[in-house]
Structure 1
């Protein structure tokens, strides 16, 4: 995946992505302790990612299933915040 940032293009392997978070019309790709901003919506990415590897758990969050260790639930039983990776 090509990531444009600071006047250069970096390449990121999809297998390195831990989870994806919506940021308006952009997506924040979380890779370890780093975050990369991609000018594509999570909806676009959700259509292209392998559904056996990635799962959309919220309209603003896509996770790599084998990296999730847990989710924080609120009082209503819904998940709150990012997944525990």
Structure 2
């Protein structure tokens, strides 16, 4: 049985989700072309995480990344989050 490669996908904010939509197409093409078993899970990061969780790097994102074979990072940042009051947990 072949190994499943798990990718933690962090779309981020701004243009990140749009970029990830295209990245998923590439992942699907790689799956088909090379017969690889690839699974993905999305996690919040950056401004999107601040808006949802009050922190730019939630514990669930860290845990998901630690368990993944690879991390696919989109984009973070923008005027809305230039001077965030939220900080990452120590």
Q: TM-score range by the shorter chain?
A: under 0.3
TM-score (structure 1 length as normaliser): 0.28
More helix by share: 2
Q: Give the number of the structure whose residues are more often strand, by fraction.
A: 1
* Structure with greater contact order relative to length (CA < 8 Å, sep ≥ 6): 2
